[in-house]
C-alpha cells in the first residue's frame, strides 16, 4: 500500500513530522517498508526560460536554444523537442545532473557540431509520466531559477507500508489516518458524507444470477451519470497516482483508481453506450473470454464471477474490467459500479487467471460493505466535478450484508493477555477512536467492531487493538517463573542418542551434512523408495520429487559433488529422518555415513608415515559400531548377519542385529550397480543406523556401578590355531570358544588368519588368544589342559574345525 504524505494529510490533521509518522505507522502494525521522495531525485532541476530558439545549422529537427537558468549568463542548449520555442518556460537539467528517465548523468556534449550545455526535460525523462511528445511546457508565470520540485509540489514523500492480510481497512489512506489519529498523532478529517439530488432513474438494469451462492456478489450498487465530458483528470489527482506508480488514463478511470487508494474502495466504470441490455452478474461459461483493461485476453469458466451484457463478458467482477466497455475520451454516459464480492472467490479467480490488481488486493482481504453506496456517491461527486454531467438516483441490486458482531469484553482481558495496565477509560477511548461501538459502564462492556474491520471477532482481537495503539513498548518485560529450582533433564532418549552419535562420528573425522529430504525418483527407487504416496504432487524440481527412503542417496551424491570439485577423499554423515511410508510411524530417525576414496579413520591420501588405502568395508563397520556404542548399544552383544540390502556389495556388507529380527545397522561397500544407477564413482563404503530400533535403556534403581573386585590371581593366556572351512564365519568360532567355559574364559581374541601353504585348499587357519582368569586357586597344568580340551571340543562341534597340527 502506497500513498504520499500530502495525501495522508488530506485525512489527518497533524503537526507530526515525517519521522514521527513513519515511526508510529510501524509501531501500530503498519510497517513502513520504503520511503522515497521524488525531490531527492529531481532536486537539482530548475525552471528555466527559453530566451531564443533558432534552427540548428546542421539538422532539420533540432533547435539551438539560449536558456536563462536563473543564474549567470544564458546557456546554449541543443534541443529536439517539437515544442521548443522562444519564450517557453520549462525544466532545465545542467551538466552533472542525473536524469532518471534516461538513466544518464549529463555532460557537456556536442550535437552535430553545436555545443550543448544541458537539456530541457520531458515528463518522461523526470519519470513523472509517460509524456514524451515534447519538453515540459510551464505557464508563463513560472518563476525562473526555482527548483521544479518545489514549484510543482513534488516534494512529497511517498510512503509504502507492508499491509498484513487482516487489515483491508488500511488499504485506503483514510483508514491509515484513522489508525494514526487513534494513536494520538492528529485528528481524522473527511468524515462527512456526500449528498446528491438525483433527477432521473438509471436506465440500466443489473441482475444478479448466481443461484444459491449469492455470497459471491451480495450487493451491486450503481448509478448512471449522463452527459459527461471525459478527459484528463486534474493535475493534483494525476500527480498522486503517478507518485504511487499508477498511470493516469482519463478522469473517469482515474477516479476509480483514486478512490481505491483513498478509501480502500475499488469501483468500476462502464461506458453506458457500449453496454447492450442488462448487466448480469453470473458465472462464466466455458469458452467465454474477455479482453481486460490491460489488453490481455482471459479465458473464463464456471468458477469465475463475471459481469456480462448481451454482447458477452464485460468485466471480471471485482478484479478487472473489460477493454470494450471501458471509458475513453468519447464516453458521454457512464455507469459507475460499486459492488461487493466474495473474498474467497476473488482470491481463487485471481490466482487462477494470474491477475494481480488493486481491486483484487482489496476484495480478497474484505472491503467495507457499509461503504458500498458511500463509495458510489464519492465517485459520482468527483465525476460530476471533473466531467460535468447529471447523476441518476443510485440503484442497488442485492442486499448489503448487515453483520452483527457483539463481543462481551471484560476490561481485565487487556491485563490478562498483555500484562499492560490500561485504565477502563483509556481502553474505551482507544476502541472508540478506531470506530468500535462500546456500550456499558461496568467491568464488562459490549463491543461491536466497525464494518471495516472483518478481522475482529473476539476478546483477544480487542486486546490487540488496545495494545498496538497504546504501544507494545509500554508492556513491561517479565520473567517466566522457574518451574524447578534446578533445570531438569528435558531431552528424550532419541534426542540424546542423535546428539551422541553426531559427536562420536565427527570425532571419527566425518563431517556432518544436511541434505534434502526429497531426492530424484530414480535415486529413491534404488534405495527401496519411490512409492506413489511419497511422491510430491508439486515438486519444486524433478530432482526433488520423492521423499527419501534412506540418507545414503543424498550423502553419496554429496560425496560425488565434492569429488567433482577436486576433493575425492571425503567422509560425510547425516543424522535425519527417512520416509518408509506417509504415516507418522513410517518416519524413522537414521544416522548414516559414507567414506569415499582413501578417507579412512587415520586420514586420507599420502603421508610420510604411510599412505592410506582405499576405504574398506571394515571402515564402515567400525563407524557403525562406534555410533551404535555412542547411542548406548552394547556392541559386543550384537550379531553380524550378511543380509544387507541390495544396494550394498553382496559379499562385502553386513547387518548388525540384536536377535535375528531387530536390525540396528547396515554397513558395507556400495554395490557397483548402485554407483552406476546414481552415476557416481567409488570407492565408497557406507553405514546406516536405525536409531530408534535400539532398546530403551533400562531404568535402574541406583546409578551405582557395583563394587570393583580385582582378581588376586594372575590371568593365564593360551593360543590355539584352528583349521576351518573358509565358509565358516569367524564370529561362530569365537562364540564357540568363548562359551566353552564361561567361568574361566574372560576374553577370546582373533590374532591371525592364514590360508596357503600348510593349510588345505578351501580351508583357513584362525589363530585365537584365550585369556583365562582363575578366581579361587592358581590353575594347574591339568586344569589348563581340561579347559583346552573343552575349547577344542566346542569349536569342533560348532564349526567342524580342528586344531592345526
Q: Which of 39, 347, 384, 759 lies at the binding interface for other proteins (CB under 8 A)? A: 347
Q: How far is the CB of 544 from other proteins (least distance, A)?
A: 6
Separation CA 325–CA 306 (nearest Å): 13
* CA separation, residue 157 to residues 4, 42, 580 (Å): 6, 13, 58
What is the x/- site pattern for other proteins, positions 155-194, by CB under 8 A? ---------xxxx---------------------------
Task: Find the shortest distance in angstroms from Cβ 266 to other proteins.
Answer: 19
Binding to other proteins by residue 34, rule CB under 8 A?
Answer: no
Q: How far is the CB of 86 from other proteins (least distance, A)?
A: 52
Q: Which is nearer to other proteins, 233 or 550 (CB)?
A: 550
Least distance (Å) between residue 419 CB and other proteins: 3
DSSP string, 736-761: HHHTT-TTTEEEEEEEEEE-STTS-T
Would you say 372 or 515 has its CB closer to other proteins?
515
Secondary structure letter of residue 543 according to DSSP: G
**Segment 514 to 533, residues that bind other proteins, using CB under 8 A:** 514-518, 532-533
Residues 435-464 that bind other proteins (CB under 8 A): 455, 458-461, 463-464
Nearer to other proteins, 35 or 721 (CB): 35
When binding is defined by CB under 8 A, the residue of 131, 301, 511, 681 that contacts other proteins is 511
Closest to 52 in 3D by CA, of 71, 74, 26, 28: 74
- Is the torsion defined by CA of 271, 274, 275, 277 positive or negative? positive
Query: Residues, the chain, total?
Result: 805
C-alpha cell at 259: 478512490
CB of 14 to other proteins, least distance (A): 20
Tell which one of 2, 6, 16, 27 touches other proteins (CB under 8 A): 27
Q: How far is the CB of 453 from other proteins (least distance, A)?
A: 13
| Residue 483 touching other proteins (CB under 8 A) | yes
CB of 159 to other proteins, least distance (A): 16
CB of 554 to other proteins, least distance (A): 8
Nearer to other proteins, 297 or 587 (CB): 587
Q: Is 229 an interacting residue with respect to other proteins (CB under 8 A)? A: no
Binding other proteins (rule: CB under 8 A), the pick from 105, 107, 412, 495 is 495
For other proteins, give the closer residue by CB, 240 or 365: 365
State which of positions 573-612 bind other proteins (CB under 8 A): 575-577, 579, 582-584, 587, 601-603, 607-609
Determine, following the binding rule CB under 8 A, whether residue 544 of this chain makes contact with other proteins: yes
**Residue 512 makes contact with other proteins by CB under 8 A:** yes
With binding defined as CB under 8 A, does residue 508 bind other proteins?
A: yes
Instruction: Please report whether residue 668 would count as binding other proteins according to CB under 8 A.
Output: no
Bridge partners, residue 31, by sequence: 162
Strands 716-725 and 802-803: antiparallel
What span, in angstroms and rounded, lies between the C-alpha atoms of 741 and 733? 14
Residue 543 touching other proteins (CB under 8 A): no
- Binding-site string for other proteins from residue 736 to residue 765, where x marks contact by CB under 8 A and - marks none: ------------------------------
Going edge to edge, which strands form the sheet with 312-316?
206-208, 279-283, 305-309, 312-316, 320-321
For residue 129 the three cell numbers come to 509520466
The reply on whether position 572 binds other proteins by CB under 8 A is yes
What is the Cα 91 distance to its own chain's centre?
45
Residues touching other proteins: how many (CB under 8 A)?
99
Closer Cβ to other proteins, 26 or 629, answer by number: 26
- Whose Cβ is closer to other proteins: residue 138's or residue 427's? 427
Please tell me whether residue 499 binds other proteins under the rule CB under 8 A. Answer: yes
Among 60, 140, 484, 712, binds other proteins (CB under 8 A): 484
> Kind of pairing, strands 571-579 and 511-512?
parallel
Among the residues of 120-227, which ranges form H helices? Answer: 148-151, 173-182
Q: Quote the Cα angle for 548-552-556, to 5°.
A: 120
Three-state SS for 367? coil
Closer to other proteins by Cβ: residue 25 or 251 = 25
- Interface residue with other proteins, options 103, 473, 712, 782 (CB under 8 A): 473
Cell of 640: 553380524
Told to check if 558 binds other proteins by CB under 8 A, we report yes
Are 338 and 265 in contact by the 8 Å Cβ rule? The answer is: yes
Measure the CA–CA gap between 701 and 708, rounded to whole angstroms. 19
Q: What is the residue-wise DSSP string for 13-75? A: E----HHHHHHHHHHTT-EEEEEE-HHHHHTT-EEEEEEEEEE-TT-TT-EEEEEE-SSSS-E
Instruction: Please identify which residue in 146, 472, 634, 746 interacts with other proteins, judged by CB under 8 A.
Output: 472
Cβ distance to other proteins smaller for residue 233 or 562: 562
Query: According to CB under 8 A, which residues from 390 to 429 bind other proteins?
Result: 415-420
CB-count burial class (<10 Å; 0-12, 13-18, 19+) for 198: middle
Burial (Cβ within 10 Å: 0-12, 13-18, ≥19) of residue 742: exposed
Binders of other proteins among residues 231 to 290 (CB under 8 A) are none
**Is 703 a residue that touches other proteins (CB under 8 A)?**
no
The span of 105-113, 189-197, 566-574, 695-703 binding other proteins (CB under 8 A) equals 566-574
Give 673-734 as a 3 state SS string: HHHHHHCCCCCEEEEEEEHHHCCCCCCCCCCCCCCCCCCCCCCEEEEEEEEEECCCCHHHHH
Amino acid at each position: 500500500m502506497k500513498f504520499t504524505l500530502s495525501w495522508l494529510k488530506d485525512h489527518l490533521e497533524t503537526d507530526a513530522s515525517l519521522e514521527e509518522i513513519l515511526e508510529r505507522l510501524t509501531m501500530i502494525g503498519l510497517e513502513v517498508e520504503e520511503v522515497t521522495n521524488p525531490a531527492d531525485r529531481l532536486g537539482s532541476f530548475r525552471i528555466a526560460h527559453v530566451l531564443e530558439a533558432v534552427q540548428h545549422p546542421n539538422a532539420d529537427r533540432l533547435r539551438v536554444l539560449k536558456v536563462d537558468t536563473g543564474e549567470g549568463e544564458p546557456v546554449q542548449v541543443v534541443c529536439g523537442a517539437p515544442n521548443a520555442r522562444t519564450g517557453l518556460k520549462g525544466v532545465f537539467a545542467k551538466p552533472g545532473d542525473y536524469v532518471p528517465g534516461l538513466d544518464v548523468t549529463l555532460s557537456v556534449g556536442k550535437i552535430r557540431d553545436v555545443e550543448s550545455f544541458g537539456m530541457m526535460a520531458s515528463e518522461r525523462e523526470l519519470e513523472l509520466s509517460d509524456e514524451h511528445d515534447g519538453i515540459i511546457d510551464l505557464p508563463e508565470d513560472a518563476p525562473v531559477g526555482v527548483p521544479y520540485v518545489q514549484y510543482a509540489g513534488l516534494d512529497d514523500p511517498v510512503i509504502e507500508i507492508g499491509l498484513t492480510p487482516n487489515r483491508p481497512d488500511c488499504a485506503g489512506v483514510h483508514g491509515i489516518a484513522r489508525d494514526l489519529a487513534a494513536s494520538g498523532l492528529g485528528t481524522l478529517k473527511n468524515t462527512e458524507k456526500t449528498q446528491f439530488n438525483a433527477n432521473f432513474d438509471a436506465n440500466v438494469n443489473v441482475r444478479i444470477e448466481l443461484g444459491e451462492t449469492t455470497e459471491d456478489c451480495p450487493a451491486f450498487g450503481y448509478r448512471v451519470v449522463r452527459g459527461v465530458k471525459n478527459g484528463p483528470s486534474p493535475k493534483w489527482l494525476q500527480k498522486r497516482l503517478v507518485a504511487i506508480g499508477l498511470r493516469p488514463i482519463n478522469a473517469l478511470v482515474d477516479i476509480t483508481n483514486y478512490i481505491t487508494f483513498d478509501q480502500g474502495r475499488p469501483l468500476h466504470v462502464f461506458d453506458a453506450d457500449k453496454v447492450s441490455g442488462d448487466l448480469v452478474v453470473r458465472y462464466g461459461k466455458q469458452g467465454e473470454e474477455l479482453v481486460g483493461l490491460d489488453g490481455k485476453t482471459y479465458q473464463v469458466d464456471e468458477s469465475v464471477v463475471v459481469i456480462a451484457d448481451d454482447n458477452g463478458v464485460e468485466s471480471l467482477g471485482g478484479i478487472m474490467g473489460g477493454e470494450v466497455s471501458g471509458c475513453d475520451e468519447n464516453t458521454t454516459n457512464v455507469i459507475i459500479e460499486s459492488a461487493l464480492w466474495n473474498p474467497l472467490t476473488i482470491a481463487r479467480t485471481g490466482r487462477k487467471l494470474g491477475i494481480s490488481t488493486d481491486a483484487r488486493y482489496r476484495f480478497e482481504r474484505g472491503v467495507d460493505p457499509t461503504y458500498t453506496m458511500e463509495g458510489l456517491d464519492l465517485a459520482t461527486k468527483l465525476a460530476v466535478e471533473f466531467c460535468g454531467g447529471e447523476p441518476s438516483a443510485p440503484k442497488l441490486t442485492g442486499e448489503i450484508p448487515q453483520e452483527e458482531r457483539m463481543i462481551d469484553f471484560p476490561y481485565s482481558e487487556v491485563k490478562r493477555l498483555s500484562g499492560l495496565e490500561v485504565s477502563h477509560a483509556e481502553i474505551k477511548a482507544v476502541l472508540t477512536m478506531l470506530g468500535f461501538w462500546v456500550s456499558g459502564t461496568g467491568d464488562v462492556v459490549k463491543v461491536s467492531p466497525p464494518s471495516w474491520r472483518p478481522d475482529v471477532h473476539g476478546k483477544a482481537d480487542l486486546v490487540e487493538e488496545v495494545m498496538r495503539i497504546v504501544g507494545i513498548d509500554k508492556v513491561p518485560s517479565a520473567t517466566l517463573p522457574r518451574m524447578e529450582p534446578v533445570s531438569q533433564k528435558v531431552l528424550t532418549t532419541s534426542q540424546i542418542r542423535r546428539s551422541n552419535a553426531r559427536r562420536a562420528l565427527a570425532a571419527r573425522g566425518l563431517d556432518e551434512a544436511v541434505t534434502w529430504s526429497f531426492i530424484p525418483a530414480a535415486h529413491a527407487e534404488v534405495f527401496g523408495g519411490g512409492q506413489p504416496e511419497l511422491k510430491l504432487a508439486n515438486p519444486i524440481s524433478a530432482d526433488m520429487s520423492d521423499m527419501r527412503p534412506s540418507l545414503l542417496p543424498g550423502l553419496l551424491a554429496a560425496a560425488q559433488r565434492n569429488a567433482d570439485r577436486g576433493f575425492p577423499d571425503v567422509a560425510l554423515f547425516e543424522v535425519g529422518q527417512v520416509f518408509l511410508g506417509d504415516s507418522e510411524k513410517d518416519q524413522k530417525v537414521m544416522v548414516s555415513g559414507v567414506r569415499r576414496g582413501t578417507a579412512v579413520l587415520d586420514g586420507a591420501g599420502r603421508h610420510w608415515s604411510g599412505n592410506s588405502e582405499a576405504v574398506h568395508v571394515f571402515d564402515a563397520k567400525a563407524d557403525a559400531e562406534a555410533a551404535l556404542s555412542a547411542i548406548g548399544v552394547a556392541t559386543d552383544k550384537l550379531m553380524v548377519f550378511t543380509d544387507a540390502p541390495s544396494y550394498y556389495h553382496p559379499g562385502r556388507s553386513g547387518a548388525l542385529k540384536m536377535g535375528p529380527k531387530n536390525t540396528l545397522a547396515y554397513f558395507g561397500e556400495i554395490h557397483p550397480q548402485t554407483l552406476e544407477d546414481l552415476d557416481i564413482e567409488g570407492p565408497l563404503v557406507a553405514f546406516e543406523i536405525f536409531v530408534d530400533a535400539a532398546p530403551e535403556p533400562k531404568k535402574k534403581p541406583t546409578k551405582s556401578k557395583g563394587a570393583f573386585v580385582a582378581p588376586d590371581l594372575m590371568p593365564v593366556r593360551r593360543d590355539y590355531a584352528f583349521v576351518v572351512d573358509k565358509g565358516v564365519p569367524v564370529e561362530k568360532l569365537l562364540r564357540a570358544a568363548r562359551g566353552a567355559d564361561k567361568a574361566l574364559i574372560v576374553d577370546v581374541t582373533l590374532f591371525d588368519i592364514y590360508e596357503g601353504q600348510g593349510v588345505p585348499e578351501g580351508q583357513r587357519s584362525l589363530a585365537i588368544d584365550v585369556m583365562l582368569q582363575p578366581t579361587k586357586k592358581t590353575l594347574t597344568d591339568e586344569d589348563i589342559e581340561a579347559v583346552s580340551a573343552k575349547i577344542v571340543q566346542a569349536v569342533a562341534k560348532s564349526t567342524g574345525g580342528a586344531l592345526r597340527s
